[in-house]
Structure 1
Amino acid sequence: MRLRAWWADAAGGLPATYWYLWTGLLINRVGGFAVLFLSLYLTAQRGASPAVAGLVVGAYGIGGVGGTLLGGVLTDRWGRRSTLLAAHFATAAFLVALAVSTDLRLVAGFGLLLGVAQTMSGPAFVAAIIDVVPAERRSRAFNLQFWAFNLGMAGASLLAGLLAEWSYLGLFLLDAASTVLTGVLIAWKVPETLSRRPAEVVPDRGRGMRTVLADRVFLVFVGLTLLQALLYAQTNTIVPLAMAQDGLGPSDYGLVTALGGTMIVVGQLFVPRLIDRHRKARVLAVALAVMALGFSTLATADRLGFYLAAAAVWTIGSMLAAPPNAEINSELAPVELRGRYQAVFFLTFPAASFLAPALGGVSLQTFGSAHWLIVAAVGVLGAGLHLAAGPARERRVSELRSVSAGGGGRRPSP
């Protein structure tokens, strides 16, 4: 009985459409192992040099940026369901094409297209959740989404190594099969969630993205999310370099990453109870301060135990930040532009994955262990800025709710 009551509290009475989307995400993430081994596949099976493999993986990343923006636009124009279906079935087709292609030029081209297709679904997925989940339950919905994503990634990481030893072709084909299965589930059970009122004016072609980029309150929030993403990106870019400098090997780094994933899978469902009664700006400020504390301890770390303790601290910070980040993003987006707002928000993560190693590598080489004090200072700065920006965000959310409750009216000023 206690377990059932705990799950009912964690799930929060979410609608059936949400659970179909959630299940699709979990299936897709568990089966999403091809990209994890893309560089190894290129060198081991297609005879690519490390430099060429890096270029192909880079093409995938460039495609991801374009796909995120395209997905945002299509989410608002086509609708959530249509964009999700197009993204999933196109992803499956490009995975198969990538697996059977032998010409490296074709492989690079399909890698670029795979990046486009695979990231198109992100804005549509989140916009659909916002559409169907009442505002008071979105914190739980996004918390469960974050949990499912990490659970699926953990499963994919475990399966990918075994499948790669068996067959790289099988790796790609099974990934494609799981993507098709998700697409079929969406086609079968997920209705179109974008509803347009008869009097609603759809933004003119090209004006929608300009509206997003003129929204100062939202862009400040995106900038603060980028600071947080820069912190967390240290974990898979600069942390392994620092561990290597301290004489620790890949298996030690594997333990550090496994600890973070395990903590999220085990503990994320308990986060709503901790944060629901508090203002989101304060939760995010605490989250970034906790992450800063974790990274600051690396300034004196030289053994595995120190790295594990630091990882436990920064993972707690990231767990606290995930639900309010997604919830604020959903609240700041006008209904007719939800897809575009999601797209701009999601761009912070590929930007961080580029900036973190580019800047962090130079910083680590120049400042040594003091690099982690700089990272901690960025976290503390972000915490303070969240507290400063919180009131403006709350006023904007209140304005948007008033407009929505009134059935239209003047858009809140940027």
Structure 2
Amino acid sequence: MSVTTAMGAALRRIQLGNALSAFGNGFTVPFLFVYVSQVRGLGASMAGFVMMTFAVAALAVLPFVGRVIDRRGPLPVAVAGTVAAALGSLALGLASVWPLVLAAAAALGAGIAVVQPSLATMIVWCSTPTTRSRAFAMQFFLNNLGLGVGGLLGGQLVDTSDPASFVRLFAIESVMFLVLGAMVATVRLPRAPKVEDKVPSGPTPQSGWRALVGDRAMVQLCVLGFVMFFACYGQFESGLAAFAVEVTRISPAMLGIALAANTMAIVVAQFVVLKLVERRRRSRVIALVGLIWAVAWVAAGLSGLVPGAPALATTLLISTYALFGIGESMLSPTMAPLVADLAPARLVGQYNSAFALVKQLALAVGPAAGGLMAGAGAYPAYIVLLVVCALGISVLALRLGRLLTAEQDNPVRAHARRTAAAGVAAEAPAARSVQEQGERTPVAV
């Protein structure tokens, strides 16, 4: 079997397992708050603590995951994470008192936090700089498709008056985590010259965090990532939802349609967008996403200014969610591959883990900030803040572009240039040979 074929087979197995795991997540994620607060009767405050526990558990393990991945390889780390997540999910479905609920949430949050950078590192190992964008775009597409389908099916099975129905949902999620672990365990990661620049073969440097902090481009990317996750992903479940219900005055059912529009935009646009951004500079693609999200936040703000036109207000708000989805589909083939291409060969796991840590921090701070501003009724200031953050994404992305090499900012175009240059270099000796042969051939008189 050729190296390319082995890489493709391993990548397909990883992607399929990841999609099934996302499918399992979709059965529980939309209903977790209702499950803790109403079904188990622990109240809204405890449901909030459970959400916070996910974030705290992830923040506790992520600083150490990268070093373990680089020392032991991503495969055993990913398998361990799936087992922890499966146990946590099943325990969460069976727990009925708050100490057990929090312990189960901690195990689930930590397990998912371990799995994410491990899978990202495995995708790096099974791809090349020119195919990496497409690989991460496929992962993002399958994640959203799995979550959407799982959520739809979970909604048909759930019954708030029957705790057993929730046990079934968490059992399905647990099984899907184990399926992911089994599929990952059977992957044979390629170790060949074609990918050896991304597969560690020697001891991991002891100064992984020091090297990362000293990397100006990576530090700038982490700052950019924090602003990005704070201003978009961190607002979906708190400030934006509150704004939609309290200011735009849409119904919860219509809010569900808006969320579906976000997922639909991602699923429909992903591969169309991929063809457009694949050959463009990554820094400029990210800058464009910032502008798109600024327009999305302006549309959200305008939806709250037309109370006498409910149809227009609803359309504006659904457009906000759809524009976010288009921006997300542009980022999926851009951000994660850029993290991998910035990483030194033996620190791919460290860099992936660090970026996951930044993402988790933003997802912890974002909903808290959005919830506080929504609770205080400071909606105009909230919209202005997020428009400024979106524009800040564009500025930070353009500044990051100055720190990137041509290979890091656009590997596809850089590869095409190298191929063209190699072709010209190969043609030159042949042309000289033909010319010399012509000079030596006697001319008939």
Alignment TM-score > 0.5, same fold: yes
Does 2:389 correspond to 1:378?
A: yes
Task: Report how many residues are paired.
Answer: 385
Aligned equivalents of 1:239, 1:106: Cα separation in 2: 31
- Relative distance call for 1:211 and 1:357 in structure 2 (3 A) is same
- Give the alignment of 1:2-41 within 5 angstroms: 15-32=8-25, 33-41=27-35
Name the residue aligned to 1:156: 150
Amino acid at match of 1:139: S
SS in 2 for 1:76: helix
Classify 1:263/1:94 alpha carbon distance in 2 versus 1 (closer, same or farther; 3 Å). same
1:96 counterpart = 2:90: yes
Unaligned runs of 5+ in 1: 1-11, 402-414
CA distance in 2, matches of 1:248, 1:196: 52
Q: Which residue of 2 aligns with 1:248?
A: 250
| TM-score, with length taken from structure 2 | 0.80
Structure 2 match to 1:266: 268
RMSD: 2.5
Q: Measure the CA separation in 1 of the matches of 2:6 and 2:141.
A: 17
Q: 1:97 to 1:357 in 2, by over 3 A?
A: closer
Q: Which residue of 2 aligns with 1:189?
A: 187
Percentage of pairs with the same residue: 24
Note the C-alpha offset of 1:90. Answer: 2.2
Q: 1:96 Cα shift?
A: 2.4
Structure 2 residue identity aligned to 1:223? V
Q: Give matches, 1:199-348, under 5 Å.
A: 200-204=202-206, 207-232=207-232, 233-245=234-246, 246-302=248-304, 303-348=313-358
Alpha-carbon separation, structure 1, partners of 2:30 and 2:323: 26
1:222 offset after TM fit, Å? 0.9
> In 2 relative to 1, CA 13–185 (structure 1 residues): closer, same or farther, beyond 3 Å?
closer
Which structure's CA Rg is the greater one?
A: 2
Counterpart Cα distance in 1 of 2:268 and 2:83: 32
Q: Distance in 1 between matches of 2:103 and 2:18?
A: 26
Q: When the two structures are superposed, what TM-score results if normalisation uses the length of structure 1?
A: 0.86
Inter-partner Cα distance in structure 2 for 1:95 and 1:371? 35
Aligned to 1:368: 379
The Cα of 1:19 is off from its aligned counterpart by 0.8
Cα distance in structure 1, aligned partners of 2:46 and 2:371: 22
Residues 1:387 and 2:398 are matched in the alignment: yes
User: Could you say if the C-alpha distance between residues 158 and 268 of structure 1 is closer, same or farther in structure 2, counting changes exceeding 3 Å?
Assistant: same
Q: Deviations over 1:238-269 (max 9, x none)?
A: 12111222321211211111101011112212
Offset, 1:282 = 0.9
Amino acid at match of 2:166: Y
- Asked if 2 retains the 8 angstrom alpha-carbon contact of 1:39 and 1:53, the reply is yes
Deviation at 1:313, TM superposition (A): 2.5
Amino acid at match of 1:236: E
Where do 5+ consecutive residues of structure 2 fail to align? 192-197, 305-312, 415-445
The question of whether the paired residues in 1 share the 8 Å contact of 2:88 and 2:106 is answered with no
Contact 2:14–2:119, Cα closer than 8 Å, also in 1:
yes
Contact between 2:7 and 2:189, CA under 8 Å: does it hold in 1?
no
Whole-Å separation in 2 of the counterparts to 1:192 and 1:42: 43
| Aligned twin of 2:114 | 120
- Tell me whether 1:177 sits opposite 2:178 in the alignment: no
Alignment partner of 1:357 is 2:399:
no
